[in-house]
Every structure is written in C-alpha cells, then in structure tokens.
Amino acid sequence: MSAEQPKRSREIKPDHVILAFRVIAHLVFPWLAARFVYKPRVGRQRRDRVLDRLAFWRSAVGLLAVLAATNAYLSPFMVLGDNYAKALRTAAFAMLAAPLPFLVLLAVTRSGYRYELLPGGRRMLGRGALALAAFALPLALLFATDGGSYEVTTLAGLLVALIVVAVIGWYAAFCLCTLYWAARTSFWISEIHPLLAPVASSFFVLLITGQEIISLDTKGVPAPLWLGLNLCGVASTLVLAVFEYRHAWLTGYRFRGGPRPVAAPAHRDGTEPTGR
C-alpha cells in the first residue's frame, strides 16, 4: 500500500495579496477604474513612460496655474466648469473627426500594411463605445425611473439611500475621468497609429484656442492675463506633441508603414537612433 499523500494547502503568495488590493483599489477609486478601461497602451521604452507622465502633469499643473492666476476673478467652480466644457468640445470634435484620419491612412499606407490598421480601429471604436455608454447610462436610468422621488421612512431605506448616493457620486467621478481620457487621447486616435496622437492633440488645441480667441470671452479676467494663460497652454501642448512625435519617429513609426515600427534611418555618423 502506498503511503497517504499529504494534502496540499493553498499558499497565499505576496503577489496574490497585491493583486487583490489592486482590484479593490480599482473598484473604490473611479480614477483608477477609468485609467484601467480607457488608458491606451504605453510603449516599453523609458521615454514612453516619461512622456506619458508628462502629459498628465502638464494637464494637472496647467489647471492649478489657471486656478491660482484667476483666483481673484473667477471661482474654482467656474474654472473647473470651463475646463470641463473645453474637454467636452475636444472629445466631441475628435469623435466626429476620427473617420477622416483613418480613411487618409488607408489611402497613404502601403498595401501590405493596410490590414494592420484594422485592429487599432476596432480598439478605438471599442473604447469610444464604452465612453458613450458611460454617459448614456444615467440618461437611460433617468428616463426609466421617470425622475420620480422616493421617501425614506426606515433605517434600511436610509442605508439604501446612502449607498445610492455613494454610487452616484462614484459614477459621476468616473464619467469625468472618462471625459478626461477621451479629450487627452483625442478619442483614442493613437490606437490607429502612434503618430496620429501628437498631430491630433496639436490640431485640436489650436482649434479650441482659436475659437476662444475669436469669441474673446474673458469671463471677467483681464485680457492680457487671459490671453497669456491660453497661449501658455497652447505652447505646452505643442512642445509636448513635438517631443512625442520625434520619439515615435525615432522609434521607427512611419505613416506609410502601418502602426508597427520599421527600421529607422541611421544618423549621419552611422549609428542607429534608439529613441532612449
């Protein structure tokens, strides 16, 4: 008779604990949930990660600078509302314009690489559909409930009401983060081709800022300060876009070569550009 085999006990590894905490954090914090759903893939090079962080900190520092500079003229809620309107217009313009660069790329890309654009187009449509569904869901629920009011008469009803309020607050923050990613990524245009992201961000910031300068609605802020803040925002976006485009070009991305990097041309001294 063979000896009885001891039962194996499940060992809880540190990686499992870290993964569990990450899942809980993504469920609790709407920013992490939106980043998990909407953030495009970042390249493996160190400069890819640096440029990705710079894009976030450019937005964050820019918003803080506007809040501090216009504190004597505008309330923080007015500044945040104005930024929300800009992000909404940017995302809307990018969504409406998305088919055009895709069709142009299909035309200019070499015939052997055109099929590689289709997976990126599907990813862009998938993330865009999720974003639109995130904004459409509250409207659908509002129509389904007919906007009725409910009375809370018991302790259980009070707990349910508090949970509902917490869920609504979480979802509202999630929708704001969704709008941020839709505007920052120009409706996830980089999923089609990495070179499109800096080009699109430059185009839309010039378009939105040009509209504001033409309308000249300073909302009570002195015109020189208002113009300086707008021009600084445009300049920081364009500078970051130039660095992003240059890095993607040195990595080997070409518009006619599809969304995968190809062999980049060597420098004059014969060395290969690495983009690092």
Residue pLDDT, tens place only, 63-108: 999 999 999 999 999 999 999 999 999 999 999 999 999 999 999 9
Instruction: Specify if 25 maps to a domain.
Output: no
Residue pLDDT, tens place only, 238-258: 999 999 999 999 999 999 988
Instruction: Specify if 152 maps to a domain.
Output: yes
Q: How confident is the model at residue 57 (pLDDT cuts 50, 70, 90)?
A: very high
Instruction: Specify if 1 maps to a domain.
Output: no
Predicted pLDDT at 112: 84
CA distance 108 to 68: 46
H-type helices in the chain, by residue range?
Answer: 14-28, 30-38, 46-69, 76-97, 99-108, 117-145, 155-184, 196-215, 223-251
Show contacts of 195-198: CB within 8 Å, 24+ apart.
195/245, 195/248, 195/249, 195/253, 195/254, 195/255, 196/101, 196/105, 197/244, 198/240, 198/241, 198/242, 198/244, 198/245, 198/248
Q: Report the pLDDT averaged over residues 163-180.
A: 93
Looking at the structure of the chain, the number of domains it has is 1
Predicted pLDDT at 269: 46
Q: How confident is the model at residue 149 (pLDDT cuts 50, 70, 90)?
A: low
- Structural domain of 162: 48-251
Instruction: Specify if 272 maps to a domain.
Output: no
Residue pLDDT, tens place only, 173-191: 999 999 999 999 999 999 9
Q: What is the pTM for the complete model shown?
A: 0.84
Query: Does 207 score more than 60 pLDDT?
Result: yes
